[in-house]
Amino acid sequence: MTAEAGTRGSQPFAASVARLRVPLGFLCAILAYWLAQPTSHSIVIGMSIAGCGELLRIWASGHLDKGREVTRSGPYRFVRHPLYVGSTIMGIGFIVAARSWPAGLIVGAYLALTLSAAVRTEEAALSSRFPDEYSAYREGRTAPVERSFSLARVAANREYRAVAGFALAIGLLVLRIGK
């Protein structure tokens, strides 16, 4: 079996996992929150880390025109999936803030499973929609595009949802201190 055939075979599973990312995220967040043993110190350190991840997501969202192009400006000049890198950093921050190995395992497994599935399905969609351009981008054969950051793009990409989730996570972890 070729590598390409193996990738195609995994697409339905990856697409299903990618579609279930949000409900799975809520379930994992509830479990991780229940297992969390935060302190004020762990929350400050963890949310500082998570805040860096959210800032990366905001920067990426301000450059992304989903479905219209292969974005090559902002953080996309350096990494193909800055939104997912930002989400991973946020997850690491939550793990530190939660101060719980079981919560960390749940968050880590969730991130590994869902983000790898999302990357696979997103790359398949981009390869299908922009075959030559995305192939060149993946191989590093394209020049970065100079484009300004836009708050309108941040709003259009609904990054406010991640910001709200970040704020909610901080609040809930603060309520969990000492319990």
Give residue-wise pLDDT tens across range 74-127.
999 999 999 999 999 999 999 999 999 999 999 999 999 999 999 999 999 999
Query: In the prediction, which pLDDT does 59 show?
Result: 98
Burial 94-106 (b: 16+ CB within 10 A, else e): bbbbbbbeebbeb
The answer to the question of residue 5 being in a domain is no
| Domain annotation covers residue 4 | no
- 45 pLDDT more than 50: yes
> What global pTM score does this model have?
0.88
- With respect to residue 121, please indicate whether it lies within any of the assigned structural domains: yes
> Is residue 5 over pLDDT 70?
no
Which CATH number do you get for residue 76? Answer: 1.20.120
Asked if residue 1 is part of any domain, the answer here is no
Q: Is residue 102 part of a domain?
A: yes
Residue 56 has pLDDT above 50, yes or no: yes
155 belongs to a structural domain: yes
Residues spanned by the domain of 102: 12-176
How many folded domains does the chain comprise?
Answer: 1
Q: How far apart are CA 36 and CA 49, in angstroms?
A: 17
Q: Say if 52 falls within a structural domain.
A: yes
